[in-house]
Structure 1
């Protein structure tokens, strides 16, 4: 038997408002009985997400994070929200460890939802000011999300996460002062509080944050972030990611995506040549992500350039 076009249209109409997700009751309301659902699953028109939710296939890459979160939340009621790394990724915060596919949710004590493979549930009572809605998906606010992650992440990732949230305007300096009370009486709170003072909104990428922390941990003078170099002749200015202007030493943190194309390599070379003209004697060092896994590869040439022991 074929699947009725009217049924398919009703299913897709419902899914289009929910990140292309539908629930089992919504399928039934659209006229899809159990046999129809089975045929839609076999044909790939439906992809199971969580118990009782399905993705209406729209992308060869599979369901997005939003779709997977929507599927989980549609089946467990309005008291449950996305939290932790999942909330951070929905907010666009960078610097997190690689996503292993687990959805992190927060539910009030006594709620029936339980952790299971692919879903981690934390029991907590959230105040109304600790939750928000982002394009239809309930989640913890940036302040609450960052507080939770400070307790869970290693230092490099934690400070990178804070830098990203500050740089994007998801957090403000006053917001940072609201985080310590959220850490009280929780595991790892003392160390997490000390990391708050290391956050800097000027960092434009997690790679810049990691290089900066390595420099500070290595005992080097604090660098200037986004060192501006004016170019009056061309009516513009350049920025060096991290720098020590009095020593004429700068660092460029070369992320793979922005600097890997031939066009980017040409622009980088032209830019570096211009900077050498504007600042004779400038030493500009370039570091990539693998360098941050071996700090001496950053600290040794940098100490030499700064003429430090």
Structure 2
């Protein structure tokens, strides 16, 4: 039973299978069963602890049958990036019922129409379109556009879904602001860091003409890509995230790549920026303006 439920069972299920209260106390004290939300236990053996799915499963098994993952929780289940850091809170939507917000659980008491509901390996949640619409109304501009870029790039959110967003936003607080951000989304952005840098350039009056600027290398039978490009000026920007670029091997590969690009595109100016730079827009815009010879 637990294996079919992300290694989660409820107190009622345990009691139905012969467990007594003393058994629950003993297994909990022994660390064999980990209490999740009220009335559910995790029986898994992963050293990392219960996953988001397991924690959510524990909540859904013990609350209103109409409850479903929503907002940031639905987005994380769908694999969408660009969200604020996860503080562990589970976000669920319910049309009515007894479940209420409490520490670790945020409840949206709102009706979700049938066309905005779906399931993901047995977990009920809002559809990608509804999830993105909800987050557009909740997040600041940078995170909202980063979220949309990620959903589009990964194919979680399709071009057809994008056309339905105005309907999902209609009549809701903040809809006008959210609609204004829709044209900023671009499926070519490969990371939230790229999105942040692109928005800084856009706000600074220096929008990149090209995303994923392709530089062919016939000698090596491959093509390099530069994250943001101004080809007419031979200027490119690379977004150096800590994950892809943080290892010694990555440093060696980046150096080889940059040297190769300088050979393939004589006169190329390649600027590199990190997450820290996005908190100081001037550290991006000043060298970019100088390279473009703009005031």
**Deviation digits for residues 91-140 of structure 1, max 9, x if unmatched?**
0000000011111000013x111111111111111111101110110000
Which of residues 144, 147, 150 is equivalent to 1:161? Answer: 147
1:278 aligns with 2:264: yes
1:31 aligns with 2:36: no
Partners of 2:7 and 2:54 within 8 A in 1: yes
CA distance in 2, matches of 1:21, 1:223: 50
CA distance in 1, matches of 2:170, 2:263: 53
1:182-221 matched pairs, under 5 angstroms: 182-221=168-207
CA distance in 1, matches of 2:15, 2:53: 23
1:125 aligns with 2:116: no
Q: How many aligned residue pairs are there?
A: 295
CA distance in 1, matches of 2:70, 2:76: 10
**Deviation digits for residues 140-195 of structure 1, max 9, x if unmatched?**
00000000000000000000000000001011222112011111221111110010
> Which structure 1 residue ranges, 4+ long, deviate > 2 Å from structure 2?
none
What RMSD, in angstroms, separates the aligned Cα atoms of the two structures?
A: 0.9
Partners of 1:202 and 1:226 within 8 A in 2: yes
**Deviation digits for residues 212-262 of structure 1, max 9, x if unmatched?**
000000001433100000111111110001110000000000000110111
Q: Which runs of 5+ in 2 are unaligned?
A: none
CA distance in 1, matches of 2:171, 2:190: 32
1:303 alignment partner in structure 2: 289
CA distance in 1, matches of 2:130, 2:41: 30
Q: Which runs of 5+ in 1 are unaligned?
A: 1-13
